[in-house]
Each structure stands twice: as C-alpha cells, then as structure tokens.
Chains A and B, each alone.
Chain A
Amino acid sequence: GAVVSQHPSRVICKSGTSVKIECRSLDFQATTMFWYRQFPKKSLMLMATSNEGSKATYEQGVEKDKFLINHASLTLSTLTVTSAHPEDSSFYICSATQGGDIQYFGAGTRLSVL
C-alpha cells in the first residue's frame, strides 16, 4: 500500500526557534498533501492544503506566516513552524493523495516547545 513517511517523529526545541517537519510519499506521487494538527483529547484539525507547485491554502485561523508550507515536489511537502512558542506544542500529522484518491497518513510529529 501507499506509504507516507513523516520526519522527525518527535522534536523538542527552544522558544523562538524554527522547526521543519517533512512529509514524504514513498511509493507514489502526491498531487495534494494536507497538514493537520491534533491537540490532546481533541480531533485532528485541518491546517492547510498543499498542491505541488502552488501556494498552500490555509484554513481560517491558521497563521500562514507562522506555519510555512512548501510542496516543491510530488513526493515532498514541508511544514516549518517559525519562531515557535509553547502554545505551538502539538501533534502534527500530514497526509497525501494521488489525484483525489484516498488520503494516506504519516505517523505524525510530536512538537514540544520549551
């Protein structure tokens, strides 16, 4: 089946630094990738939709300057949390699709900002 790899699985950083999370589709070309955020005991919340070669579309309330998304190739999308603060600590999950097909999810990245 289709595999999506997310890296790193866990990251701890100091407040004010930037963190990059990678999402790769290992055995298929992903025309669309999605980034979700999951708070403790809450559902996954869609942050943004990313199409290869285009600017990401952000959901209402998501700061695009804080959460930079780059989808430079059909197999890689990155999420950069800029100037991270403790309130950005969360579980971030990406998914990828091939042209409207099923979403395949990465295992997620646990971000802790000290």
Chain B
Amino acid sequence: AQSVTQLGSHVSVSEGALVLLRCNYSSSVPPYLFWYVQYPNQGLQLLLKYTSAATLVKGINGFEAEFKKSETSFHLTKPSAHMSDAAEYFCAVSTHSGGGADGLTFGKGTHLIIQP
C-alpha cells in the first residue's frame, strides 16, 4: 500500500522568495515519485519525477525536488517564486515508472499563493 502526505493545504510566499512544498510518502516497495501542477481550469501537468536515478531531480519552470529515503520525503523547491507559480501542486507516488501500469496515489494538494 502507498500513501502520500502533503503538509500544508495552503502555502503563501512573497514573490522572489523561496518556495518549499512538503511531501512525505509511504511505500512498501521502492517508489517512483512525481510532482504535478494544476492551474485553474486545466489538467495536471508533470513538473518532475524521481525514478531511482539521481536523488536530486530538476523539473520545469525552475522547480526541483530531492528524494530522501531516510526521511521518506520528496519536497519540492524553487529558489525564487514568480507570480505565475500560483497554482495547486500535487505530490504522487507509484510503484512503476510513469505510473504506466499502476495508477498514481496522490496527496491532497497544496495551494501555492504568491504575494506581490
């Protein structure tokens, strides 16, 4: 069984400040981990994924995440927030790369608010 916990349903940061969105997972097998972003009235877009290669994963739009097995975490960061980063962010886990054979287990999502 797998599960994902995203700490903080809402995170507010100032424009230009560091963005940190927290994700902890539980998995009985080595996980594949994903971060997705959802803008209003749009589908989920993949930001980045971890599939047992490098533990520090770089994604689109300047985001990156670090897989820490000892902490069962996969936190998402961005050094400098932009107004366009305001969106809903979902962390997800799968036991297969890309979730191709298995569906994804999602966290509840974190709404990122960017203050001007």
Binding site for B on A (CB under 8 A): 4, 6, 9, 32, 34, 36, 41-46, 49, 59, 93, 95, 97, 99-108
Report the count of interface residues on B (CB-CB < 8 A).
25
| A107-B41 in contact given A32-B100, A44-B90, A100-B97 (Cβ < 8 Å) | yes
Residues of B within 8 A of A (CB): 4, 9, 36, 41-46, 49, 90, 96-109
Chain B residues near A42 (CB, 8 Å)? 108
Which of B41, B49, B99 contacts A97 (CB under 8 A)? B99
Listed by A's residue number, 6 A-B pairs whose Cβ atoms lie within 8 Å are A36-B106, A43-B106, A43-B109, A100-B97, A102-B99, A103-B99
B92 to chain A minimum Cβ distance, whole angstroms, is: 8
CA–CA, A46 to B92, complex, Å?
Answer: 12
Task: Find out whether the CB atom of A105 lies under 8 angstroms from the CB atom of B36.
Answer: yes
Residue of B nearest to A101 (CB): B98
**Which residues of B sit under 8 angstroms from A95, Cβ to Cβ?**
44, 104
The CA-CA distance from A93 to B43 in the complex, in Å, is: 8
Q: A41-B108, A43-B106, A100-B96 are in contact. Are A32 and B101 (CB under 8 A)?
A: yes
Min Cβ gap B65→A in Å is 16
Least CB distance from B99 to A in Å reads: 5
Q: How distant is the Cα of A41 from the Cα of B101 in the complex, in angstroms?
A: 27
- Report the Cα distance A77→B100, complex, angstroms: 16
Min Cβ gap B19→A in Å is 20
Determine whether the beta carbon of B98 is less than 8 Å from that of A103: yes
What residues on B are CB-neighbors of A104 within 8 Å? 43
User: Known pairs A36-B103, A103-B100. 7 more at Cβ < 8 A?
Assistant: A43-B109, A46-B103, A49-B103, A93-B43, A95-B104, A103-B104, A107-B42
Instruction: Please name the 8 residue pairs, one residue from A and one from B, whose CB atoms are nearest each other, closest first.
Output: A100-B100, A46-B103, A105-B43, A105-B44, A43-B106, A44-B106, A43-B108, A107-B43
Report whether A106 and B43 are in contact in the complex, using a CB–CB cutoff of 8 Å. yes
B9: A residues at CB distance < 8 A = 41
